[in-house]
Structure 1
Amino acid sequence: MKHGTTHHAAKAPSQRQLRVAEEIRHVLAGVFLRGEIRDPELADVQITVTEVRIGPDLKRATAFVTRLGRSDIADKLPALRRAAPFLRGIIARSLRLRAAPDLSFQADTSIDYAMHVDALLRAPEVARDLDKSN
Structure 2
Amino acid sequence: MAKNRINKINETIKQELSSLIRKNIKDPRLTELISVMKVDTTGDLRYAKVYISIFDTDEKKAQAIDILNKAAGFLRKNVGKTLKTHYTPELIFVLDDSIEYGAHIDEVIRKLHKDSQE
Q: TM-score surpassing 0.5?
A: yes
Equivalent residue runs for 1:1-134 within 5 Å: 14-34=3-23, 36-42=24-30, 44-68=31-55, 70-72=56-58, 73-123=61-111, 126-128=112-114, 130-131=116-117
> Does structure 2 retain, via aligned residues, the 8 Å contact 1:25–1:49?
yes
- Alignment size in residue pairs: 115
Displacement of 1:54 in angstroms is 0.4
Give the TM-score normalised by structure 2. Answer: 0.85
Contact 1:61–1:102 under 8 Å retained in 2: yes
Deviation at 1:40, TM superposition (A): 4.1
Cα-Cα RMSD: 2.0
**Equivalent-residue separation in structure 1 for 2:36 and 2:6 (angstroms):** 17
Structure number with greater CO (CA < 8 Å, separation at least 6) is 2
Q: Unaligned regions of 5+ residues in structure 1, if any?
A: 1-12
TM-superposed deviation, 1:31: 1.2
Residue 18 of structure 1: how far off its partner (Å) = 1.0
1:75 positional shift: 2.7
TM-score (norm. length: structure 1): 0.76
* Cα distance change, pair 71–41 in 1 and its aligned pair in 2 (3 A): closer
Secondary structure of the 2:45 match is coil
Give the structure with the higher percent helix.
2
SS of residue matched to 1:41: coil
Could you list the structure 1 runs, at least 4 aligned residues long, displaced by more than 6 angstroms after superposition: none
Aligned AA for 1:38? Answer: K
